[in-house]
Amino acid sequence: MMALKKKRTIIIKDPQLREVRTNLRRVIKSACRAEQAKIHDRRDILRKEEERTSMKNEGTYDYEKYRRLNKELTEQYWAIEDPLRASILECPVCFKSDKDMTYNPVRKIWYCIECYEKLRKGNIKRGTPEEFP
Ligand SMILES: [Zn+2]
Distance from residue 100's CA to the centre of ligand 1 (Å)? 9
Is residue 55 situated within a structural domain?
yes
Share of the chain above pLDDT 70, in %: 95
Residue 20 lies in a domain: yes
Would you say residue 3 lies in a domain?
no
Give a yes or no: residue 42 inside a domain. Answer: yes
Q: What is the pLDDT of residues 12-43, one digit of tens each?
A: 999 999 999 999 999 999 999 999 999 999 99
Is 2 domain-assigned?
no
Q: Which domain holds residue 103?
A: 8-131
- 52 located within any domain: yes
Task: Give CA–CA dist 82/79, Å, rounded.
Answer: 6
Q: Please give the tally of structural domains in the chain.
A: 1
Q: 70 CA distance to ligand 1 centroid (A)?
A: 33
Secondary structure percentages of the chain, helix, strand, coil, to 5: 60, 10, 30
Q: How far is the CA of 75 from the centre of ligand 1 (A)?
A: 27
Mean pLDDT within 46-64: 81
Residue 1 lies in a domain: no
